Amino acid sequence: MLEQFRSKITEKKKIDGALSILQWDLETCTPKKGQEFLSEIVGYLTMKGYEISTSKEFVELLDKLKSNLNSLSPIDKKEVEIISEEIEKMKHIPSNEYQYFSELVVKAQGIWEQAKLSNNYKIYEDKLQEIFDYTLKFAKYNRKNEANLYDVVLNEYEKGMTTEKLDIFFESLKEEIVPLLQKIVAKGNPKRKLNFYNSIENQKKFNRKIGEYLGFDFDRGVVRESEHPFTLNVDKNDVRLTTKYVENTPFSAIFSTIHETGHGIYEQQIGDELKGTILACGGSMGIHESQSRFYENIIGRSKAFWKGIYSEAQNYNPILKEITIDDFYKEINIVEPSLIRTEADELTYSLHIMVRYEIEKELFSGNIKAKDLPKIWNEKMIKYLGIAPKYDSQGVLQDVHWAGGLIGYFPSYALGSAYSVQIYNAMKKDMDIDKVLENGEMDKIKNWLGDKIHKYGRLKETEEIIREITGEGLNPKYYIDYLKKKYSAIYNLDI
């Protein structure tokens, strides 16, 4: 019985693997007019996977296994549980709607790209509304009795997450971080030196070095380019990152590479004992983002990290020879309200997320429609960051997520930031992190994360992992304390 189950899982994993490659291709390679056919292929294969999961044969198999859960190994048991939950969700969705939606999001991504490139929100808003409508509809199918349907989609990315918890989280950001930002803005910033010409070829070489330095295994992964950087795993032996190079702002690609490498190392360190199971990938979006943001901010924007690699950085960016490491540290931590989330500094980043969180919430409550977004976006940007975009391409159109059907995903970034600080505090108890970084012993960091988090894949829930490491669950207090301490020191603020 277990054997039949495994054989079905193997089949599903092959379809999912093919879908990952197609998704990767769409974002890194497919020519404009080829997107339509590819989206049909994606719809077709998604449907094939759906058919396996919802087949009478498979459901019966699963029911039998469920009736005997305690006789299973922990891995088999967890797999059965996760799949049962997924099927429970899926079986409420009519298959034609499911297929329609999976094709819709592929097409929408093409249209989003055009809309962004041409700064024309109008051509995209209907598709976006449709995506929201479908997401809402699916959430309703799924939990008819749920008062707050936004909670249903939040749970897709972070089990147990609720609007109530997030409201508390973002309320504390409003109370503590928005005023801190205002103080910093009043103080002003040093003149930037880090925007300088560096050829794309040269940037690529340095970014490759950084990936290797952090411990990304290039025999089991690749780095390419895309408009919107992302990480995708086919399996632990095939992990793919993208970054985006801009000739005169080399540090944009560098932090993006460090961020995605954080995701990538997570996937590459999944335990071998999970091979062939659906547990063989990263856990919730929140814990995934905790890893990327840990590498990007806590490691990547620390002085100790750059001490370990500064001479190498100077080789690829000769202008750094004229900049002391103290000045460099200040520069990579400049706080400045800006328009683009992915290029935001560590402090303002979560405020960008707050804008998206509030919009998703209101769209779900039906108070607003997709057509209202540009206006509302800009109002919220003014309210929290003090600036608003002149062009929608730098505003509501900047992110691909919603076009890709990822609604309820954005809060994971903020959760990830909060988790990352909790993890950092725990890691400090086991090693002198600054010393490790100065010595360039990046493997020590990687191994610690591998052992405490990565190896488990989806075997353990995020909550469980965080509790084991830190002794408590999500607590935004540490994150806010960390930000206040770090930035009051950099800006000489007395808070």
Binding site for a second copy (CB under 8 A): 11, 14-15, 17-18, 21-22, 24-25, 28-34, 36-38, 40-41, 44-45, 48, 199-201, 218-222, 224, 234-235, 237-240
* Min CB(460)–a second copy separation in Å: 24
Nearest-approach distance from CB 19 to a second copy, in angstroms: 9
Q: Closest separation between CB of residue 7 and a second copy, Å?
A: 12
The answer on whether 228 is annotated among ligand-binding residues is no
Whether 92 has a binding-site annotation, put simply, is: no
CB of 266 or CB of 377, closer to a second copy: 266
Give me the amino acid identity at 291: Q
Nearer to a second copy, 22 or 65 (CB): 22
Smallest separation, CB 86 to a second copy (Å): 21
**Smaller CB separation from a second copy, 189 or 237:** 237
Task: Examine the residue annotation and report whether 260 is marked as an active-site residue of this protein.
Answer: yes
Q: How many CB atoms lie within 10 A of CB 14?
A: 12
Token digits for 345? 């500094």
Alpha carbon separation from 12 to 6, 51, 235 (Å, rounded): 10, 10, 13
| Of residues 47 and 490, the one with the C-beta less far from a second copy | 47
Q: Which of 27, 103, 156, 260 is catalytic?
A: 260
d(CA 22, CA 493): 50
| In the complex, least distance from residue 137 CB atom to a second copy, rounded to whole angstroms | 26
Q: Is 263 annotated as a binding residue?
A: yes
Closest separation between CB of residue 217 and a second copy, Å? 8
Nearer to a second copy, 11 or 81 (CB): 11
Q: Pick the closer one to a second copy by CB: 234 or 287.
A: 234
Using CA atoms in the order 332, 335, 340, 342, what is the torsion angle rounded to 10 degrees? 40
Q: Give catalytic residues, as residue numbers.
A: 260
Give the residue ranges of the annotated binding site for Zn(2+): 259, 263, 289
Give binding residues as ranges: 259, 263, 289
